Amino acid sequence: TEKTMEKIVALCKNRGFVFAGSEIYGGLSNAWDYGPLGVEFKNNVKAAWRKKFVQESPYNVGLDSAILMNPEVWVASGHVGGFSDPLMDCRDCKTRHRADKLIEDFTGESADGWSNDKMMEFIREHHIKCPNCGSENFTDIRQFNLMFKTFQGVTEGTKNEIYLRPETAQGIFVNFANVQRTTRRKIPFGIAQIGKSFRNEITPGNFLFRLREFEQMELEFFCKPDTDLDWFHFWKDFCEKWLHDLGLTKENLRLRDHDKEELSFYSKATTDIEYLFPFGWGELWGIADRTNYDLSRHQEHSGKSLEFFDPETKEHYVPYVIEPSLGADRVALAFLCDAYDEETLEGGDTRVVLRLHPALAPYKAAVLPLSKKLNDRAQEVYSVLAKRFAVDYDDAGSIGKRYRRQDEIGTPFCITIDFDSETDGCVTVRDRDTMKQERIAIDKLTGYLESKTDF
Ligand code: ATP
């Protein structure tokens, strides 16, 4: 039995995890809508991140900044003149250049409308040099034509052009001083947020892997210069542990350090945590030591001090930043791929099981009366549990079929109400993975599910 994207996409569509966006109009390329099960599941993924990165963290606090920001933010961050141009970095002096501008400046020729490959070839052939240091050692051209543009206000013109944010990080940087002051935090501390980002990706695809509208879960962790590499390793381990604890198969995960050539010019160290999707290895989580680049840039462009004053050492400094950045949709896809299983049962039948961590499963339990005559008691159990958990109720079809339906959507526990329940006050709880059953008192069910689905 092979795990394929086709099977996973089909399950998502058929069971209400993910639908094609605007489907009745023929869809919109690369747009997906989360259905009833998908929204529960994705919310659970985000809640699991928030719990470990904010609620349980002695260091981090939350934020929810606006998607629309002052356009100057994107100049300071390097996204304007960055995300919208064909860029290449000089490997020797680490300066960044627009490929078309280099060509024009050196040869007087206009590279208007040229492909990146054509520009690259031209630059090599004409031995075009870095205007800063004279080197010919450039990285490949990266096209950063990625920001969605729109207009604020009723008139459309360059004056009121604004962008949909391509990352949530900048909302954190511009609020650094606000958060530090109001929470009275001392360095080190972090600001975490979950939110939508938009990138006009040139090659979107692979289902939820590369979207144009997606959600990010980002932490910007501010620390003292010279402690940055220690914190970089701390957060790298922390992120890896989060994935392991939520049950991602270790063999399907690897850490890939960026070498000197690949590192952004402002980054001291970057590691990608990658996952082996059915279509190959792909980046899940980018963890970067971004030095004090971001805050320094915003300090320069806004004219506002973003220095931290350390009351103990009496030092002023611009904090260094460690950034672990994770895509909510992308990691949700990894959890789905990892959980998908087809199991051959005794007797030759197969069942599809989503072996999701119980904390991520859309429903924690399903209440299944063995007979419609038991509906009243079953409804009672359902309403008690529904106060605390997302639970399903199903009284249609054979019990075997009902188990299969729950297995396929990852429900970790099936609770059957039978005629004995009336006399002994107990129900049968079936475990999704082992299919073992045990008898549990109705008044112990809440505690049982709580302990089993905790993260
Ligand atoms: P990639 O190399 O895959 O384009 P990136 O290096 O541009 O990713 P970052 O800018 O570091 O990605 O973004 C941080 C995280 O946000 C990624 O690790 C990924 O999980 C998520 N992400 C980025 N772009 C997308 C996208 N188009 N769709 C879904 N998730 C994304």
| Domain end position, chosen among 302, 337, 372 | 337
- My answer on whether 312 and 221 are in the same domain is yes
How many domains are contained in the chain?
3
Identify the CA nearest to 290 among candidates 26, 77, 50, 18: 77
Is 156 part of any known ligand binding site? no
Give residue 145's pLDDT.
59
Is 88 part of any known ligand binding site? no
Give residue 260's pLDDT.
86
- My answer on whether 328 and 231 are in the same domain is yes
Give residue 209's pLDDT.
97
Give residue 81's pLDDT.
66
Identify the CA nearest to 40 among candidates 382, 335, 364: 364
Residue 183 included in any domain: yes
**Residue 286 to residues 77, 173, 255, 312, 372: CA-CA distances in angstroms?**
18, 17, 10, 33, 52
Q: Give residue for tokens 């980018």.
A: 286
Q: How far is ligand 1, taken at its centre, from the CA of residue 327, in Å?
A: 6
Q: How far is ligand 1, taken at its centre, from the CA of residue 285, in Å?
A: 8
- My answer on whether 13 and 106 are in the same domain is no
- My answer on whether 58 and 113 are in the same domain is no
SS3 label, residue 123: helix
- My answer on whether 134 and 90 are in the same domain is yes
Q: How far is ligand 1, taken at its centre, from the CA of residue 413, in Å?
A: 34
pLDDT of residue 261 exceeding 90: no
Q: How far is ligand 1, taken at its centre, from the CA of residue 408, in Å?
A: 29
Residue 352 included in any domain: no
Give residue 292's pLDDT.
98
Give residue 397's pLDDT.
95
What's the chain's average pLDDT? 94
Q: Which amino acid is at 154?
A: V
Tell me if 71 CB under 6 Å of ligand 1. no
Residue 277 included in any domain: yes
Tell me if 330 CB under 6 Å of ligand 1. yes
Residue 234 included in any domain: yes
In DSSP notation, 388-432 reads TS-EEE--SS-HHHHHHHHHHTT-SEEEEE-HHHHHH-EEEEEET
Q: Are 44 and 52 in contact (CB under 8 A)?
A: no
Instruction: Provide the domain limits for residue 399.
Output: 363-453
Give residue 300's pLDDT.
97
Encoded tokens for 439: 């008898």
Residue 160 included in any domain: no
Residue nearest to atom 19 of ligand 1 (CA): 327
Give residue 389's pLDDT.
97
Give residue 84's pLDDT.
60
Q: Is the sign of the CA dihedral 368, 371, 374, 376 positive or negative?
A: positive
Tell me if 207 CB under 6 Å of ligand 1. no
Is 215 part of any known ligand binding site? yes
Q: What is the pLDDT of residues 78-105, one digit of tens each?
A: 888 645 678 888 989 888 888 988 998 8
Q: Is 106 or 427 the better-scoring residue by pLDDT? A: 427
Q: Is 237 or 110 the better-scoring residue by pLDDT? A: 237
- My answer on whether 97 and 243 are in the same domain is no
- My answer on whether 22 and 118 are in the same domain is no
Q: Give residue for tokens 């199903």.
A: 394
Q: Give residue for tokens 């188990």.
A: 403
Q: Is 1 or 29 the better-scoring residue by pLDDT? A: 29
Tell me if 286 CB under 6 Å of ligand 1. yes
- My answer on whether 188 and 253 are in the same domain is yes
Tell me if 395 CB under 6 Å of ligand 1. no
Give residue 159's pLDDT.
80
Q: What is the pLDDT of residues 128-142, one digit of tens each?
A: 999 999 999 999 887
Residue nearest to atom 20 of ligand 1 (CA): 327
Here the ipTM equals 0.97
Q: Is 83 or 9 the better-scoring residue by pLDDT? A: 9
- My answer on whether 403 and 444 are in the same domain is yes
Residue 319 included in any domain: yes
Fill in the DSSP letter of residue 290. -
| Domain end position, chosen among 128, 143, 158 | 143
d(CA 324, CA 227): 16
Q: What is the pLDDT of residues 391-420, one digit of tens each?
A: 999 999 999 999 999 999 999 999 999 999
Q: Is 106 or 157 the better-scoring residue by pLDDT? A: 106
Task: Tell me what the mean pLDDT of segment 145-168 comes to.
Answer: 87
- My answer on whether 185 and 121 are in the same domain is no
In DSSP notation, 173-208 reads HHTHHHHHHHHT--SSEEEEEEEEEE---SS-BTTT
d(CA 406, CA 390): 13
- My answer on whether 127 and 225 are in the same domain is no
Task: Tell me what the mean pLDDT of segment 334-345 comes to.
Answer: 96
Residue 300 included in any domain: yes
Predicted structure pTM score: 0.89
Tell me if 287 CB under 6 Å of ligand 1. no
Q: What is the pLDDT of residues 269-312, one digit of tens each?
A: 999 999 999 999 999 999 999 999 999 999 999 999 999 999 88
The CATH code of the domain that includes 400 is 3.40.50.800
- My answer on whether 262 and 303 are in the same domain is yes
Tell me if 297 CB under 6 Å of ligand 1. no
pLDDT of residue 125 exceeding 90: yes
Determine the residue of 210, 220, 329 to mutate for testing ligand 1's pocket, defined as the one with the most ligand atoms within 8 A of the Cβ atom.
210
Q: How far is ligand 1, taken at its centre, from the CA of residue 95, in Å?
A: 23
Residue 79 included in any domain: no
